[in-house]
Structure 1
Amino acid sequence: MTEAELAEFLRVEGLCDGTPVVETMKGGYLNQVLRVTAGSRRLVVKRFATPMAGTLFPNLPADEAEALRRLAGLRVAPDLVGFWPERSILVYAYVEGAPWSGDPAAVAALLRRKEAADPAGFRRVPIDAERILAEGDALFARCRAAPSQPRPRAARLGPPARLSLIHTDIGAGNLVGAGEALRLIDWQCPAQGDLSEDVHSFLSPAFQILSQRPPFTAADRASFLTALGREDVVERYARLRPAYAWRMGAYCSWRAEVLTDPEICARYRRAAAAELGDMEPLE
């Protein structure tokens, strides 16, 4: 779709009058994301690419639209404007504000607000250590290079008290705004799972590196976990962290081998090394 075709689509759907200003937004590794300014209205138009097979982060347009519907009014995600599945186009309100500034308490509060959303019907992801580790094993099996660290042992623990609607990809690049205005964007791979997985994706060194930010310090992590105020989730995160790190390290190792952009491949290699070096369980 050309810029002129996009403008015509928006006019036909009643989303703008006249000629909008269209800008390509930076960030992301897969979909095309455009910011559209039409008078005083600012929208984000996401055009979904064909998803890769066998990835931890599937590209699910209909699921993103449904997640935004369920999160409406919770002050967690952008406001959905519309979804056109036949065109693989999703439109939502542009989130005003700067990229996340580094306030862990704001992210903790956002995760607590998110718990009000109904997770039923979304894809189910593993919630026990052995299955999480097995996903990492499958990804390492595709790699030419062997992992730099041995596979961690699987912690034995029961299921969480309840399943949550989880984002699965809370890198800093997907957080916009500050305080209660903080919003979590890019919901193309939501799931029904363990809230501790979202905790890991936020605190993970790999996710930070892929967002082109330095990994968190031990003090940063402790501050966030204290602000979360969920001892049950913190305990699960502490025990599942080695399994999550193994799987994310495997994912980054695989991506580093299959992608072609040298800079992005190098970033994934750094992320893999950081993740596999961070598999010690928390005390």
Structure 2
Amino acid sequence: MIDVALFVEHLRHGRGLSEHTIRSYRSDLAELTAFAVTRLGREPDHGDLDLDLLREWLYRGTRAGLARSTLARRSASVRAFTRWLEETGRTPIDQGVRLRAPKAESRLPRVLTEPQVEGILRSLAVRAEGDDAGARRDLAVVELLYGSGLRVSELVGADVDDVDLGRLTVRVTGKGGRQRVVPFGVPAAEALGRYVELARPRLVAGADAPPTAAFFVGSGGARLGTRAVHRLVARLLGDIPGTGPAGPHSLRHTAATHLLDGGADLRAVQELLGHASLGTTQIYTHVSTERLRESYRSAHPRA
């Protein structure tokens, strides 16, 4: 019997990983277990997870047309699991230490132009002028995502006490449980203030959900979920040209790129985004360079 549940608890309490990462690891290992059952004709145990089986599992994924990024994540999930098996004495050696997968594709993130962002915010502001509490919340959500470059998990995880409208800052908990204080601008503060005063009380009033400390709440009065934010942003970006995922992370990419375009220091952007490595932040310098190159090609007569 493979101890996936115990490994997941180890990830949650011993590694400080995000819930999104933990769900991905659990899903990958469930897929591996199902493959092993099919291949062996019985419930597998830890000793069955040898290098040949692991390689065959990844190969089947390749034949099924899985993206290289998915295969790379599967490889990382399994290698973390087999390392834990060896460290806890469940197997004598780490069978996954030599497992390799194709490197994830290196693609520049989707970034909106400033006029595109302004158009989105104007449309939300028009909706928020009415009596719709949800529209006021949606405007505040998008203003804060773009104004601060937060991850969607950080945005929905913020509590009322974490948002300081006077100092224009929000305290969030990022990857690995690391906390940081992130600034936002005056337009975001105005949208957040109207949400707190006019929308949030209505969303929580008379709701069936128990009282919550969450800053952003849904129509039922409970903490707003990441899926709801994904749906909101995907709907807003649906008609805007561009490649790449149309979700909240696009607004984070956009905020970082616009900061660098405006002359912000790379290390300051790293701190704002909560990146552990400066190398992760440097992808936005490539985005800025590519945007400059495209502008040159389209505008310069000798391009």
TM-score by shorter chain over 0.5: no
Per residue, is there more strand in 1 or in 2? 1
TM-score (norm 2): 0.26
Higher relative helix content? 2
Q: Name the TM-score, length of structure 1 as normaliser.
A: 0.27
Higher relative contact order (CA 8 A, sep 6+): 1
